[in-house]
Structure 1
Amino acid sequence: MTQDMLLGHPWFAPLLSALIAVFLALLVHRVASAVLQRVTRHTPVLHALLVNIKPAARLVLPLLALQMVWQAAPDELRFIAGVRHLNGLLLIAAAAWLAIRAVNGFADGLIAKHPYDAADNLQARRVLTQTRVLARTANSMLLVAGGAMMLMTFPGARQVGASLLASAGVIGIVAGLAAKPVFSNLIAGLQIALAQPIRIDDVLVVEGEWGRVEEITGTFVVLKIWDDRRLILPLSYFIEKPFQNWTRHNAQLLGTVFVYADYGMPLEPLRAEVERLVKAAPEWDGRFFNLRVVDTTERAMQIRVLCTAANSGLAFDLRCTVREGLIAFMQREYPQFLPRLRVEDGDAAAPRGAAALPPQQQPV
């Protein structure tokens, strides 16, 4: 009797079909994922995409199969409309998740194909920046699209949308003003991804701070300062305001060292010492160095040393090495020509007739 009641229940056939559909969907997912991953093992980008979407696909395929079963069920079946709606919402959410994971997997594959830990990593950093910014922008758009599609399944939400359209003029102005930072950052993110004024791992001088670009998100840029502080700036900052990029085309830099010396200091020994210091320094990249007198004052001459290095960090260390070496050389070999302030004897420097005046009446 109980068996007859169970077999005769209106939900028996749909539930049995649902179980069979879920089992077949999981079987298809298992076989297809194994075959596709084996086929794409020699294409890193597609392989990374397939590996990344595997968990989401394990959810999407059964939900898709269930939706087909519920759509085939009789319309007069009790609660079938609610089940269809709930399954549709879950399917939209899972499909959005699948699309986001597909974008992230494709981005991860491209980044892995262009490693940026090499010495000359300009192309890799370009790919990394474009991929991450565009992937995050696409993810934001997919989230918004998924949420919008889920809301559109509710009749009430469609009515609200229709009523909002009736007052679109006022609401459009208000929404435009409120969303201006969001849209400006979104547009700035696309400009940064395409024009690339900055890239991941670029060396920048921003707001008087020196640091490297550590992260570029959909709304802000994280700059790692040399003393491990973090400077957070909106994306629109790098479109609207000037800043210095020391690695725009390559990481090589020309370091500058300034030293002051007395006019009596001979320059040839200094040039020889600079050559010795630079060639002995492991930070020098072998491209260029020189020494020139670039300015003079009434007390000393300004000597400039130029030397090249492969990147900003090495250039800073090389400048310190050369500066310390030149100071030590002058202290050791020519201490008499170090910058000094000359003070003449008071009597000798006094104007004629001033020495006859008492001390309290001497001219100042």
Structure 2
Amino acid sequence: MTEEMLAHPWFGTWLAALLAVPLALLVHRLGGLVLVRITRPAPALHAMVLNCKPVARVVLPLVALLLVFQAAPNDLRFIGTVRHFNGLLLIAATTWLAVKAISGFADGVLAQHPSDIADNLHARRVLTQTRVLARTAMTMVLVAGGAMMLMTFPGARQVGASLLASAGVIGIVAGLAAKPVFSNLIAGLQIALAQPIRIDDVLVVEGEWGRVEEITGTFVVLKIWDDRRLILPLTYFIEKPFQNWTRHSSQLLGAVFVYADYGMPMAPLRKEVERIVKAATEWDGRFFNLQVTDATERTMQVRVLCTAATSSLAFDLRCKVREGLIDFMQREYPQFLPRMRIESDGMHEKPLHQGAHAVRAAYPMGQLAQEGVPPR
């Protein structure tokens, strides 16, 4: 039995393979320890090495087996099939290793720029660039790996050559069909480099207020204030206009509009606005004022401007100011609330609010203009 095994044509090849695999695992073990220690000062490379270690445990033995099978005699039975199968496994494992390397490097970069801080503009810029570029690179690696695996089959090479040689019309049709894919790919690169939007940016798109929750290789997920999700293709943000409230800073200037009768004195109203704004925790201390910005035949328009650090705080501050002003006017100057009056003859000498025959209809007191939508 032993003599038959020693005389078998595959004995030397399998013996070499049995020795090569443990040797490759030993190299993986020692090399991994060395690389982990060397890359520790560089967080991105260190994260990449840690992410690649499990996959490298598969790649290195396959490389060792490839060397063994290539050194085997060509007249061995099934050696071609074994080499082909080993090559397919190696391509797949190498592709997996490249994807893990890109993913690990991206994780290492993101770990150095946490976005859960107050001033996270730079972190969100890095987050957007890293995620979009990493996903684009991983997509390209997967496509290249699949193409290399197909090219190992002679039949696939012949089919590909014949298609390239004779399928002009088919190529045009395929190009038109693949246009959205390539358009989104290019749009993704433009978004990553030019950054018209970033992760966690506050946008107004299609009349909806929301935050950028995710940017994939083909679309952007916008989380609307009421927890709905608006899905838009990447090309939308290259081809169409939209509002970005946090392009350079998250600070906003909020506007509150109320309407009052012409008899309303401005001095106590300004004093009350100052009290409300300075007492509000949402105000960032930069600026506030009150002005009469318009006058109609019935009322005057009073506008209050106030600043906040974020859009969410700006919305809450606007609501607080609006409620405070309405409450102040109701309590201290109810006679100057907006009203529509119809008076009979002979009543002109009486104060408007004391006319016995006046028919009064309520007029909206807190009409908004340019208020946006709730931030939650």
On whether the aligned pair clears a TM of 0.5, the verdict is: yes
Residue by residue over 1:2-53, the C-alpha shift from the partner in whole angstroms, topping out at 9 and shown as x without a partner, is: 1111121111111111111110111111111122112222221111111111
Question: Is 1:182 the counterpart of 2:181 in the alignment?
Answer: yes
Letter of the structure 2 residue corresponding to residue 98 of structure 1: L
1:277-316 alignment runs, 5 A limit: 277-316=276-315
- 1:354 aligns with none
1:27-106 alignment runs, 5 A limit: 27-106=26-105
What's the secondary structure of 2:75's corresponding residue?
coil
- Give the Å deviation of 1:172: 2.0
Residue by residue over 1:122-164, the C-alpha shift from the partner in whole angstroms, topping out at 9 and shown as x without a partner, is: 1111100000000011111101100110011000011001110
Q: CA RMSD in A?
A: 1.2
The alignment's TM-score, normalised by the length of structure 1, stands at 0.94
Letter of the structure 2 residue corresponding to residue 65 of structure 1: A
- 1:356 aligns with none
- 2:192 aligns with 193
Structure 1: state its 5+ residue gaps: 350-364
Letter of the structure 1 residue corresponding to residue 194 of structure 2: A
Question: Is 1:221 the counterpart of 2:220 in the alignment?
Answer: yes
Residue by residue over 1:86-114, the C-alpha shift from the partner in whole angstroms, topping out at 9 and shown as x without a partner, is: 00001001111111111111111111111
- 1:131 aligns with 130
Letter of the structure 2 residue corresponding to residue 141 of structure 1: M
Letter of the structure 1 residue corresponding to residue 43 of structure 2: P
Q: Quote the sequence identity (%).
A: 78
Letter of the structure 2 residue corresponding to residue 124 of structure 1: A
- Give the Å deviation of 1:254: 0.4
What's the secondary structure of 1:299's corresponding residue?
coil
Distance 2:79 2:159 in 1: 26
- 2:353 aligns with none
1:204-283 alignment runs, 5 A limit: 204-283=203-282
Residue by residue over 1:327-356, the C-alpha shift from the partner in whole angstroms, topping out at 9 and shown as x without a partner, is: 11111111111111111238989xxxxxxx
Letter of the structure 1 residue corresponding to residue 283 of structure 2: W
Distance 1:16 1:344 in 2: 111
Q: How many residues matched?
A: 348
Distance 2:28 2:250 in 1: 47
What's the secondary structure of 2:340's corresponding residue?
coil
What's the secondary structure of 1:341's corresponding residue?
strand
Letter of the structure 2 residue corresponding to residue 145 of structure 1: A
- 2:355 aligns with none
What's the secondary structure of 2:342's corresponding residue?
coil
Which structure carries more helix by proportion? 1
The alignment's TM-score, normalised by the length of structure 2, stands at 0.91
